[in-house]
Amino acid sequence: MGVGIEVANLNAWYGSNHTLQDISLNIPANHATALIGPSGCGKSTFVRCLNRMHETNPIARVTGTVRMGGIDIYEDVKPVEIRRRVGMVFQRPNPFPTMSIYDNVAAGLKLNGYTNRKSLDEIVEKSLKNSALWDEVKDDLKKKSGASLSGGQQQRLCIARALAVDPEVLLMDEPASALDPVSTSKIEDLIFQLKTQYTIVIVTHNMQQAARVAEMTGFFLNGRMVEFDSTQKIFTNPSDKRTEDYITGRFG
Amino acid sequence: MPEIHIAHPQFQPEPSVTAEQRQAASAAQEPSEVRRFLLSRGNSALADRSFQILMTLCALSIFGIVALIAIELIGNSRLAWHSFGLQFFFKAYIDPYTGLPTYWDPVNGHFSALPFVYGTLLSSLMALMLAVPLALGVAVFLTEMCPNFLRGPLAFLTELLAAIPSIIYGLWAIFVLVPLLREHVNPWLIKIFGWSGLFSDDNPTGLGFVSASVILAIMILPIISSLTREVMIAVPHSQREAVLALGATRWEMIRMGVLRNARIGIVGAIILGLGRALGETMAVTMVIGNSPEIHRSLLANGSSMAAVIANEFAEATNDLHRSALIEIGLALFIVTIIVNALARLLVWAVTRGAPARVN
């Protein structure tokens, strides 16, 4: 089951560049939340702060609090622990090219020393079914490498890899922006199914996508969050003029 | 002309310039100064052609040099080839006085390359065993852990090791390394591992395979570590992020996200180091002891293919002796070319992105 995320006064920097300024919002558990906004507005930085990936860059810095299921992820735990509980899917599919499909999915578990072979098999199958890839790869799980799949399949493999560690939160940073329309719609269907079991935060450039998959939508601009509300409200009756300008295509 | 229908009023082209106006304007225009100058120049076909031929000759000269070396080596080793055949690399003679095996006795016309092949392989492999862990450590530190202010100087120093002339390494080995090993390391090796017979105490000089391997290891360290660094850098950043996002520690990230993806290139780097070690002459000649024998002890004196050529070629007394030395050279030439080609291929496979082709 997913957990909610409470973000308060989150600030982030890359060097002297203040990329996120005073972000506060509550992301509801077991729902999909979309973050939209023009390139460079800080939405990717924001999701990277939710699993402390932002700080893997030596010049990056974060202040503020992020509470996930009652835990302050910047105070109470080490980054490694929080990343085990928060899955992440990146913009461009990044399966491990030297591993088989099976090993790609099992990578997170094997990394953490989970070796029960029988339940490993079950988890791999379940994760691949959850990511709607099972039927396409079940015959060559251990024969084919993760890199031999098509781009859309690779991205679903990456989703399966993230699901295999049974995360409480799934972060997706423009998961479909490098994919063709058919693969994109498969990923969207997937998000639609997964959001009942996981808390999903999805960054997207595609406003139709946000409208299709997410219950909540946040609009980011120049490192600030302009508006955060139900998707319905954001796309039909936004309170802020800048949100309205953006969703009607007047800029961005 | 068919009518073009454009829905959006903003995109309606403005017919500001008519076809007649355009024609009139271009007819009235004189060719400019620049245009006339450019038109007056020839097509430079001859210069272009000669340049092409010159460059092709430069490139072909590489093939020419390699071919000439091969022809020379093959031609001049024919005598030894015909006298000993393949046995040249395996045979042991029995000394009539001592009854012990002997391999290389120019006075009595006994020539077998076995101790030199053994010496070259043994010293190179021992050098690899010492250099590979160290080089991998250096490369991992430099790419993944090194603070930025230290990265440049450290990488530069590592590369600088490769620029030191071989003879300087040899001198340093004789004056510093060999005494150090003789006084402090060898007694310890003999005490702890003496029972295995691999470290016997019958060579008081400190010269021998251990000394040669240590100096070789230092010499091949820069090539292995800089190539390993290169293939590690070639691993896309997204692979590191993928592993980190699964909750990996830094070491797990390096192992799964970096080393695993770079492994073919790392093998290439190691083989390239092997190629260097096989052919290295001067420093090895100075410390290996130069006796054409095969002993179980790693502390014993030995010789290598390159060392025997360097030592004996100028003083070779007869044609067979000279021919035998050249045949050893031919064998070394073939082996190092194959090893180097293989290594380059493996490194190329990684840096050109064959296995890590995602992203």
pLDDT higher than 50, residue B2: no
Q: Indicate yes or no: CB of A111 within 8 angstroms of CB of B256.
A: yes
Query: How far does A174 lie from chain B, in Å, by closest CA?
Result: 14
Q: What is the pLDDT of residue B15?
A: 63
Mean pLDDT by 10 residues, chain A (252 residues): 87 92 93 92 93 90 91 91 92 92 93 86 92 90 89 92 92 89 88 90 91 93 93 92 88 64
pLDDT exceeding 70 applies to what percent of chain B? 93
CA proximity to B262, closest of B153, B127, B144: B144
Using the CB atoms, write b or e for B42-68: b if 16+ within 10 Å: eeeeeeeeeeeeeeeeeeeeeeeeeee
What is d(CA B297, CA B312) in angstroms, rounded to the nearest whole number? Answer: 25
Q: Indicate yes or no: CB of B247 within 8 angstroms of CB of A83.
A: yes
Interval B56-96: pLDDT, tens: 999 999 999 999 999 999 999 999 989 888 888 888 888 87
pLDDT higher than 70, residue B293: yes
Which amino acid type is present at position B220?
I
Q: What is the pLDDT of residue B13?
A: 59
Angle at B285 between CA B135 and CA B299, to 5 degrees: 75
Interval B107-137: pLDDT, tens: 888 899 999 999 999 999 999 999 999 999 9
- For residue A169, the cross-strand partners are A86, A199
Interval B233-277: pLDDT, tens: 999 999 999 999 999 999 999 999 999 999 888 998 999 999 999
Interval B208-233: pLDDT, tens: 999 999 999 999 999 999 999 999 99
Q: What is the pLDDT of residue B42?
A: 79
pLDDT higher than 50, residue B18: yes
B330 — pLDDT class (breaks 50, 70, 90): very high
B29 — pLDDT class (breaks 50, 70, 90): confident
What is d(CA A74, CA A125) in angstroms, rounded to the nearest whole number? Answer: 34
B249 to chain A: which residues are within 8 Å by CB? Answer: 80
Structural contact between residues A168 and A194, judged by C-beta atoms closer than 8 angstroms: no
Structural contact between residues A143 and A97, judged by C-beta atoms closer than 8 angstroms: no
CA proximity to B122, closest of B341, B288, B329: B288
C-alpha distance from residue B264 to each of B69, B82, B142 (Å): 31, 41, 19
pLDDT higher than 90, residue B284: yes
B1 — pLDDT class (breaks 50, 70, 90): very low
Q: Give A80: exposed, middle or buried? Use CB within 10 Å, 0-12, 13-18, 19+.
A: middle
Q: What is the DSSP letter of A78?
A: -
What is d(CA A153, CA A72) in angstroms, rounded to the nearest whole number? Answer: 35
Q: What is the DSSP letter of A76?
A: T
Domain boundaries, chain A: 5-247
What is d(CA A153, CA A145) in angstroms, rounded to the nearest whole number? Answer: 12
Which amino acid type is present at position B295?
H
Q: Is A208 left (phi over 0), alpha (psi -120 to 50) or beta?
A: alpha
Mean pLDDT across the stretch B191-195? 88
- Per CATH, the number for A5-247 is 3.40.50.300
| Minimum-distance CB partner of B247 among A80, A147, A158 | A80
Q: What is the DSSP letter of B14?
A: P
What is d(CA B281, CA B267) in angstroms, rounded to the nearest whole number? Answer: 24
pTM of the model: 0.80
Among A53-67, B33-47, B273-287, the range scoring the smallest mean pLDDT is B33-47
What is d(CA B142, CA B163) in angstroms, rounded to the nearest whole number? Answer: 19
Continuous H helices in B246-318: 250-253, 260-279, 282-287, 305-312
What is d(CA A39, CA A50) in angstroms, rounded to the nearest whole number? Answer: 19
What is d(CA B135, CA B277) in angstroms, rounded to the nearest whole number? Answer: 14
Residue to test with chain B: of A80, A86, A88, A105, most B Cβ within 10 A: A80
Q: Indicate yes or no: CB of A92 within 8 angstroms of CB of B359.
A: yes
pLDDT higher than 50, residue B355: no
CB pairs under 8 A between A and B: 79
- Searching chain B, which residue's CA lies closest to the CA of residue A79? B247
CATH number among 3.40.50.11540, 2.60.40.1180, 3.30.110.40, 1.10.3720.10, domain B115-351: 1.10.3720.10
